[in-house]
Copies of this chain bind each other. A is one copy, B any other.
Amino acid sequence: ARAPTSQTPTEQTLTTGPFPASRKVYTPGTRYPDVRVPHREIDLTPTVEMIGGLARHTPNPSVRVYDTGGPYTDPDAPLDLHAGLPHARPWLHNHPDLHTLPGATSAYTRAQNARADLADLRYPGAHTIRRARAGRTITQLQAARAGVITPEMEFVAIREALRQAEAFELRHQHPGNALGFQMPREITPEVVRAEIARGRAVLPANINHPELEPMIIGRAFRVKVNANIGNSAVKASVADEVEKLVWATRWGADTVMDLSTGKHIHQTREWIVRNSAVPIGTVPIYQALEKVGGVPEALTWDVYRDTLIEQAEQGVDYFTVHAGVRLAHLPLTVRRRTGIVSRGGSILARWCLAHHQENFLYTHFREICEIMAAFDVTFSLGDGLRPGSIEDANDAAQFAELDTLGELTKIAQELGVQTMIEGPGHVPLHLLQENVDRQLQVCGEAPFYTLGPLVTDVAPAYDHITSAVGAAVIGWMGVSMLCYVTPKEHLGLPDKNDVRDGVIAYRLAAHAADLAKGVPGAQARDNAISKARFEFRWEDQFNLALDPERARAFHDATLPAEAAKTA
């Protein structure tokens, strides 16, 4: 055992422990007994009524909620960051279609591992690298098409279904309006399989990420939220990044994208993946660019290819790939108000223009698919030409790229790779529907994953709110995952408070979308908190809130007396 350095994370740097009045409960699978699905159960106090001078106590059933916090919110779970999280997917260990590699095959990984000066930064635990055996199909998409319900599928079915206590009194729910989409009445493993098989849902779960608690992204399910983390040249510490991951998932992030661009990206990522119970997404071109000294023109397919393998072997669950930024689209951006604002998009545009060649991610797309299929890494096809302002919303450049993404979606799915599509950005309210309609049509209903969108540009410092408006509405319209925006968007780097503000704003937006599209059981939490509010059960109201701490603090700022919270 080695002593941690100041760079490596310790349990003490993390925010852990349960939410107030909350217990972690695990539901086992029925098909797969080693499936063990976490939920959070919020216990409530009884309703007290005075009847004829006597107090009558009526118990209130506990409320079960979806839980993204992982083992960090379970006081009984062992926590050792240097050993990584316990494996929630133990079935990967003896999977007949996987073989264990003797070590990393990425040239970059091998070179990094050989450097003695990085010993202190390196993740010290074991990580077995697996890959599909030759000729075997191992992705969730391939399994679903073959009619196989995987353990991951049973896991997410139980996770989404959120069975409330028997005879749960708060079952009343407004019929939803999913705007033409037929929501399932009940979430079963077969529903999950069918949605994945149709390409309408993805279950991002790299075979090298056994720590993952599987989750699903698709229109038939609860709307998900992604939070971005990542160090940069300005700020960098492994401990900070792992805490950001834990912090974001504590407040409700369903996936986390690691957008690091600073030093030691490889080592930081290993710490993150080994300690993450949620899918990790990356944008591999960022790291590829670091490897060629930050000069876009110097990028090559070989460097990029090795980066894909490096990250796939670490266990990254989904890759943003800007393969839709085609040379022919670039003239369409010239007259824009805000040009190309996607970082990946600008890198590739610069490469295309410098070489006057087609984007190498487009020309090598099938090879990319083959690598990703071997690890079951999911595509998040990047929208490198997304609008950067209200003015540029829904323009020719954006939709030309979307058409290409539709073409690529077909290829990826044919090759067995799960695929979702990234979307804008900046769109006024009345142009949101066109985005969803076009994406559904062009990409065959593959899950849509949008960044907000912001519905106006005039409120920097409040862009978590402007974008939560767009996110809630577009989630209702059919978007499956919402990438959060923090109050610091357009202005600076988010701190912990900003991450919390951003995640909660998006959780409430996603929940509003769930209520509107009619996710079964979504309204139970609203009903329970409203009942608590009406009965002045303040503690229950706090405990049922998305952010119990802040709700309590705001209340206590005005009326601090304990008496004002019970009675």
Chain A residues in the interface with B (C-beta under 8 A) = 172, 174, 176-177, 234, 337-339, 388-394, 426, 428-431, 455-462, 464-466, 468-469, 472-473, 476, 487-488, 490-493, 495, 504-505, 507-509, 511-513, 515-518, 523, 525-527, 529-531, 533-534, 541-542, 544-547, 550-551, 553-555, 557-559
Selected from B390, B512, B557, the residue in CB contact (under 8 A) with A469 is: B512
Report 20 cross-chain contacts, Cβ distance below 8 Å, ordered by A residue. A174-B394, A337-B531, A338-B531, A389-B530, A390-B523, A391-B527, A429-B472, A455-B472, A456-B526, A458-B511, A458-B525, A458-B545, A462-B546, A462-B547, A464-B465, A469-B472, A469-B512, A490-B533, A491-B551, A492-B559
Complex Cα–Cα for A554 and B461 (A): 7
Taking the nearest CB of chain B, how far is it from the CB of A34, in angstroms? Answer: 33
Q: Chain B residue with minimal CB distance to A517? A: B430
Majority SS at the chain A contact face: helix
- List 10 other contacts, CB 8 Å, given A390-B523, A462-B547: A337-B530, A388-B534, A389-B530, A390-B515, A391-B523, A391-B530, A429-B472, A457-B525, A468-B469, A491-B554
Query: Which residue in B174, B488, B545 is a CB contact (below 8 Å) of A460?
Result: B545
A525 cross-chain contacts in B, Cβ below 8 A:
457-458
Q: How far is the CA of A392 from the CA of B175 in the complex (A)?
A: 13
Question: Nearest B residue to A459 by beta-carbon distance?
Answer: B508
Query: Using Cβ atoms and an 8 Å threshold, which residues of chain B touch A542?
Result: 460
Is the CB–CB distance between A456 and B551 below 8 Å?
A: no
CB distance from A554 to the nearest CB of B (A): 4
Contacts A456-B526, A469-B512 given; does A492 touch B554 at CB 8 Å: yes
Cα–Cα distance between A260 and B546 once the two chains are bound (Å): 31
Highest count of chain B CB atoms <10 Å: which of A490, A526, A544: A526
A427 to chain B, nearest CB (A): 10
Distance (whole angstroms) from the CB of A476 to the closest CB of chain B: 5
Are A512 and B546 within 8 A (Cβ)? no
Query: In this complex, what residue of B is CB-closest to A337?
Result: B530
- A426: B residues at CB distance < 8 A: 530
| Contact yes or no, B391 A172, CB < 8 A | yes
Name which residue of chain B comes closest to A513, CB basis: B429
Report B-chain residues with C-beta under 8 Å of the C-beta of A495.
557
Residues in B whose Cβ lies below 8 Å from that of A518: 430
Asked if B388 contacts A530 (CB within 8 A), the reply is yes
Given the known interface contacts A459-B545, A462-B546, A526-B458, the answer about A174 and B390 at a Cβ–Cβ threshold of 8 Å is yes
Contacts of A505 in B (CB 8 A): 462, 465
Pick the contact of A429: B339, B391, B515, B557 (CB < 8 A): B515
Residue in contact with A491 in the complex, picked from B431, B466, B527, B555, CB distance below 8 Å: B555
Contacts of A430 in B (CB 8 A): 174, 176-177, 476, 515-518
A99 to chain B, nearest CB (A): 46
Residues of chain B with a CB closer than 8 A to A492's CB: 554-555, 557-559
Tell me the bound Cα distance from A553 to B498 in angstroms: 14
Given A462-B504, A465-B505, A466-B508, do A488 and B558 touch, yes or no (CB 8 Å)? yes
A428-B516, A488-B558 known; A458-B529 Cβ under 8 A: yes
